Amino acid sequence: MADFLFAARFLRDLAEWEAESSAADREQLDRALAAISRDPELAGRVPSFYDPKRPSYLYRAGPLLIHYRVRDDRTVEFLNLFFRRL
């Protein structure tokens, strides 16, 4: 499993999402974050094309879209958590 860290934006998104999420939703997110940490090149990811010099990826986990990148030191950095806001 790779080391990982959370960007400040991801943590703000996570706090907002957790306030409205169910236990099952949180479990699904936990599984997705663990899968990405185990294998950042897992099937189902797509390039985000946000910054060509520092490639990042999007991975869908149910209604969530996880934006992450692999840093030069092989650390997975979770950048954003996208979800439908009501």
Tell me the pLDDT tens digit for each residue of 12-44: 999 999 999 999 999 999 999 999 999 999 999
DSSP structural state of residue 11: H
DSSP of 30-85: HHHHHHHHH-TT-TT-EE--S-TTS-EEEEEETTEEEEEEE-TTS-EEEEEEE---
User: Domain 4-82 falls in which CATH fold?
Assistant: YaeB-like fold (3.30.2310)
Residue 2 has pLDDT above 80, yes or no: no
pTM score, whole prediction: 0.90
Question: Amino acid identity of 67?
Answer: H
Q: Which residue is listed with tokens 């520092």?
A: 54
φ, ψ of residue 73 in degrees (nearest 5): -90, 15
